[in-house]
Structure 1
Amino acid sequence: MAKRGPDESHESVKSVQSEGNGSSVNKRYLLFKIDLFVLSFVCLQYWINYVDRVGFTNAYISGMQEALQLKDDDLNVTNTCFTVGYIIGMLPNNLLLLVIPPRIWLSFCTLSWGILTLGMSQVHTFGQCCAIRFFQALFESCTFSGTHLILGSWYKESELPIRSAIFTSSGLIGSMFSGFMQVKIYNDLNGRYGMSGWRWLFVIDFCITCPIALYGLIFFPGVPEKTTDGKNWLSMKTIIFTDQELQYARRRLPARDESLKLDWSVIPRVLKKWHWYLFSLVWVLGGENLSFASNSTFALWLHNQGYSLSHRNNYPSGIFAVGVLSTLLAAVYLSKFKRARHWHVAIFIAVAMCIVAIMIRANPLNPNVMFTAQYLGGIGYAGQAVFFAWANVVCHEDLQERAIVLASMNMFSGAVNAWWSLVFYSATTTPHFEKGCYALMATAIASGIVSVLIRKCQIRDYGKKQQLAYIDANDIIENDDEDDDEEEQQIQQVNVV
């Protein structure tokens, strides 16, 4: 359910007068600065996250397997080690973002996994791969759900779909970039200074990661809460944003109960609502809808069928390209169409994934069928932005609950994927993937059913309460545009159903 914003063509000339000094907040310029400094860092971080993450698979099919004598399901086992680390780090990372300034924690995590990526260039055994992948995941788990938590602290419901789509697309672009980069590195650096091309990939990844971590430490403003973070070492927050802009950035968001704190009371607050249960379940299913892509089955199939190294690295990029396109189209649909709802996209994804499973099961050795099905499977990536933006909207009133719900969605999805990929999508099932096809049909159908159930619960909740504009007593701004407030309340009431 995306809230429809009013015609914003007049906003460039409107401003909100601040208390006391008469200075103004230009709403359009404020949103531009939020996009420039908030969205840019989280997108760069997620982009390099996937460059580093997918780089392991690209290295595997570009010489690592033979150099380290990896066999059978070693690739799946190392991916499972990564998944376990990802699960363990998910919830603690999200809660730490409520305690430690996000610019510091996210920048530290980015630098840490960059150093571990550099360490991957020196591995010589299967055990070393597993250990480094595990600790990489501990730090990388801060990115996805943590960023959705931060986006929900800056953007209104009408603004979230596009920003969430841009963010998730940056990871898919990173996946595409990693494949192209591996081919270029292999052609130009393989054997240089006695290092194989796949080892150079990790070195180059590290060199890209470090500047992004430094950029975040200096320019990323974190969240628009009252904090002394802007006065801390190296932060540009108070230079980028005025106090009035930060006040308005908080005040323009929907109501949030400021009395709720991060303490033991958060446990019953989370458990007594349906949000945690159903959103966790729907992303367990939605995450497994991506199993053909996330387990690199296309790259394995290309390897099995004797395609060249460049083709094995480049052809799977088409899946991520489709993912980017479908994610952006879903965001445009939710933002621009008046009667659009999140569950509409969820049903479309479910149907598309069923078609993918049927095609691969019917004729997995036909290149035309496999290429079409694998690329069509990229549609499933649209679920990342849709489901997490949906959870952000539903849980906006309780910051701590929202942090736990968003982390739990990714955490439980990872927990299931840790064994799901081994059971249904192991490398030994190449090229037929019979078990994986049946598993995909099951998760696709189930995800559509759960999405409809979430929508019914959401309608029921909106029927019990009236949405109010968020006003913090410490953030009252005099001479505000009363027409804007009245217009927003009308929009909220219209979009309840």
Structure 2
Amino acid sequence: MGVDTVHTTASEDSGIGASEKYGSVAKVEDNSTHLAAVRGHVATDRYGNALIDFDPAAERKLRLKIDFMIVPTVSLLYLFCFIDRANVGNAKIAGLEKDLKLKGYDYNAVLSVFYISYILFEIPSNILCKKIGPGWFLPGLTLLFGISSLGTAFVHNFSQACGVRFVLGIFEAGMLPGIAYYLSRWYRRSELAFRLSLYIVMAPLAGAFGGLLASAILTLPHIGSLKSWRMIFFVEGVITIGLALIAFFTLTDRPATAKWLTQEEKDLAIARVKSERVGTTEVLDKLDKKKLLRGIFNPVTLGTAFIFLLNNITVQGLAFFAPTIVKTIYPHATVVSQQLHTVPPYVVGAFFTVLFPFLSWRFDKRQIFFVISAPLMMIGYIMFLASTKAHVRYAAAFLIPAGAFSFGALCTAQVSANVVTDTARASAIGTVVMFGNVGGLISTWAFLPFDGPNYHIGNGLNLATSSMTLIMSILMLLYMKSNNGKRDKINVDAELAGKDSKELEDLDWTHPAFRWRP
């Protein structure tokens, strides 16, 4: 059921059959072919070709099962991760600044403190996620940042607000890279971007849903002694804590421990991921310094990380300042109306967040969608800079998220597709998200009080970053194609001569049979 055919061509240099050298296929009593995911064997030949052909019908059935059992849980967790981070923007126009006596750049400083801890704990958190296991680690983080968010309801001054936001950054640091790494345990490289988009779409939906939820909460007179903006943090924190407790029981760590998969489905889930990883003997390898560094210093990782840094200046800037920007467009509207005006642009952004990764899955391409997305942001910021008319600026507010929000899924999927081992994947994804949140830190200073209401500096900065994103995306695409051409001329057998399995696995993307996947 799980396997259609198995390659048994002999290794040219040894005469050893591929099934004997790289893996095994066992026959069960009913004579159906059963894939044995044998530890200590690779699932590709030395040229990077998969040794096993999979039954497409069996893969579709398995993929659908994984989709329904894995994606909804992580999507809900990330939805409230983003809400708990960005609700400070909703609280700002509901009286937070006035009640905490924030002046000048105090609000920007409160936002920045979050990113300091967020950046510092990004890579360590993802390594810890691999060590502990996502099934426990991700719900644990959710519980802790839910408590931190709830605690924001009880702050009374600038220092307390900074302290709570710093702690929130520590616990939220592992969520985006951790979920991306977690899903890479379950999906092929072509499938990953779309599945990542199904949880990353929660970021724009958090903007929309967060605005609706904040509006609804603000219609309440009080919750106990808590009033106005404090109720936003309290209610949303309680919901997050509840979701975390449920996730401890519903989040499956890896295919091998999934009680909802049959043994044959477990073997298929492991083998199909393994068949794309040249030279690897285990899907979940042990932590290794050399492979960690391979993930970080991969040229595609570094290039993609820089693009994600540029992109996050826009994405995180929208998260924190969208209500403020809408307030400048509709200054005479009520606070609830201003909150509601932030919703439609996020809905459009959510659509494109899923659309581009879906197309990426179908074409097994990612880099071209970087190139397509950037001009949408550029046009939006040109409209902001060129006009002060409300309808023009509000139209621009739709174009920007349409171009910006798909990068979260595309960037993490891109680096996941362009490393080999699980360890390198964890460090590569952590690196990209860490760089991205340097962009988030910059975004907290993009829209400054003296620059309002037109925010020429903030809009000009974002036009520059989106333009640079387009240039970098094109250069990376050209690099990957050019380097693949050079790799095609390498004598693989000569390069691999004399290397044992450990040395082959440590090669990761430097393996001569590896090809960049744009």
Shorter chain as normaliser: what TM range?
Answer: 0.7 to 0.9
Encode CA deviations 1:69-102: one digit per residue, 9 max, x unaligned: 2222222111101111110121111101111021
Q: Which residue of 2 aligns with 1:194?
A: 225
The alignment status of 1:203 with 2:234, answered yes or no, reads yes
Q: How far apart are the structure 1 equivalents of 2:424 and 2:311?
A: 21
Shift of the alpha carbon at 1:306?
Answer: 3.5
Q: How far apart are the structure 2 equivalents of 1:438 and 1:333?
A: 31
Q: How far apart are the structure 2 equivalents of 1:104 and 1:221?
A: 9
Q: Which of 243, 247, 254 is 2:267 aligned to?
A: 247
Please tell me whether the aligned partners of residues 279 and 405 of structure 1 are also in contact (alpha carbons under 8 angstroms).
Answer: no
Q: Which has the higher contact order (CA 8 A, sep 6+)?
A: 1
The alignment status of 1:280 with 2:323, answered yes or no, reads no
Please tell me whether the aligned partners of residues 312 and 443 of structure 2 are also in contact (alpha carbons under 8 angstroms).
Answer: no
Choose 177-186 or 433-442, whichever is displaced more.
Answer: 433-442
1:380-459 equivalent positions in 2, closer than 5 A = 380-395=404-419, 397-422=420-445, 424-459=446-481
Encode CA deviations 1:414-435: one digit per residue, 9 max, x unaligned: 224324531x322332211111
1:411 partner amino acid? M
1:394 partner amino acid? N
Distance 1:298 1:61, change over 3 A: closer
Secondary structure, in 3 states, of the residue corresponding to 1:222? Answer: coil
Distance 1:267 1:207, change over 3 A: closer
Shift of the alpha carbon at 1:283?
Answer: 1.1
Q: Which residue of 2 aligns with 1:47?
A: 79
Alignment: residue pair count: 447
Distance 1:451 1:71, change over 3 A: same
The alignment status of 1:183 with 2:215, answered yes or no, reads yes
Distance 1:291 1:144, change over 3 A: closer
Distance 1:174 1:267, change over 3 A: closer
Please tell me whether the aligned partners of residues 394 and 458 of structure 1 are also in contact (alpha carbons under 8 angstroms).
Answer: no
Encode CA deviations 1:156-204: one digit per residue, 9 max, x unaligned: 13322321221111232122111111111111x2234332032222221
Please tell me whether the aligned partners of residues 14 and 27 of structure 1 are also in contact (alpha carbons under 8 angstroms).
Answer: no
Please tell me whether the aligned partners of residues 81 and 133 of structure 1 are also in contact (alpha carbons under 8 angstroms).
Answer: yes
Q: Which residue of 1 aligns with 2:159?
A: 127
Q: Which residue of 2 aligns with 1:319?
A: 345
Shift of the alpha carbon at 1:355?
Answer: 1.0
1:116 partner amino acid? S
Choose 168-177 or 288-297, whichever is displaced more.
Answer: 288-297
Q: How far apart are the structure 2 equivalents of 1:80 and 1:74?
A: 10
Q: How far apart are the structure 2 equivalents of 1:178 and 1:46?
A: 13
Encode CA deviations 1:220-244: one digit per residue, 9 max, x unaligned: 11233x5xxx4xxxxxx3x222333
Please tell me whether the aligned partners of residues 293 and 374 of structure 1 are also in contact (alpha carbons under 8 angstroms).
Answer: no
1:68-467 equivalent positions in 2, closer than 5 A = 68-187=100-219, 189-224=220-255, 230=257, 237=258, 239-253=259-273, 254-256=276-278, 257-258=280-281, 261-266=286-291, 268-270=293-295, 273-290=298-315, 292-302=317-327, 305-336=331-362, 338=363, 341-364=365-388, 366-379=389-402, 380-395=404-419, 397-422=420-445, 424-463=446-485, 464=487
Choose 294-303 or 143-152, whichever is displaced more.
Answer: 294-303
Please tell me whether the aligned partners of residues 418 and 517 of structure 2 are also in contact (alpha carbons under 8 angstroms).
Answer: no
Q: How far apart are the structure 1 equivalents of 2:5 and 2:215?
A: 51
Q: How far apart are the structure 1 equivalents of 2:114 and 2:92?
A: 15
Please tell me whether the aligned partners of residues 114 and 168 of structure 2 are also in contact (alpha carbons under 8 angstroms).
Answer: yes
1:69 partner amino acid? K
Q: How far apart are the structure 1 equivalents of 2:345 and 2:172?
A: 22
Q: How far apart are the structure 2 equivalents of 1:200 and 1:15?
A: 59
Q: How far apart are the structure 2 equivalents of 1:19 and 1:55?
A: 56
Q: How far apart are the structure 1 equivalents of 2:2 and 2:296?
A: 43
TM normalised by structure 2 equals: 0.79
Q: Which residue of 1 aligns with 2:9?
A: none
Shift of the alpha carbon at 1:273?
Answer: 3.3
Encode CA deviations 1:384-439: one digit per residue, 9 max, x unaligned: 122221221112x12222211211112122224324531x3223322111112221
Please tell me whether the aligned partners of residues 38 and 222 of structure 1 are also in contact (alpha carbons under 8 angstroms).
Answer: no
Q: Structure 2: which 5+ runs fail to align?
A: 7-24, 36-57, 493-500, 502-512
User: Which of structures 1 and 2 has the bigger CA Rg?
Assistant: 2
TM normalised by structure 1 equals: 0.82
2:327 partner amino acid? L
Root-mean-square deviation (Å): 3.0
Distance 1:180 1:347, change over 3 A: same
Distance 1:460 1:195, change over 3 A: same
Shift of the alpha carbon at 1:332?
Answer: 3.0
Percentage of identical aligned residues = 23
Q: How far apart are the structure 2 equivalents of 1:321 and 1:272?
A: 36
Please tell me whether the aligned partners of residues 297 and 430 of structure 1 are also in contact (alpha carbons under 8 angstroms).
Answer: no
Encode CA deviations 1:457-477: one digit per residue, 9 max, x unaligned: 33245442699xxxxx9xxxx
Q: How far apart are the structure 2 equivalents of 1:18 and 1:217?
A: 35
Q: How far apart are the structure 2 equivalents of 1:267 and 1:165?
A: 25
Secondary structure, in 3 states, of the residue corresponding to 2:154? Answer: coil
Please tell me whether the aligned partners of residues 326 and 342 of structure 2 are also in contact (alpha carbons under 8 angstroms).
Answer: no
Encode CA deviations 1:296-334: one digit per residue, 9 max, x unaligned: 145345068233111221111222112111112212322
Q: How far apart are the structure 2 equivalents of 1:67 and 1:312?
A: 20
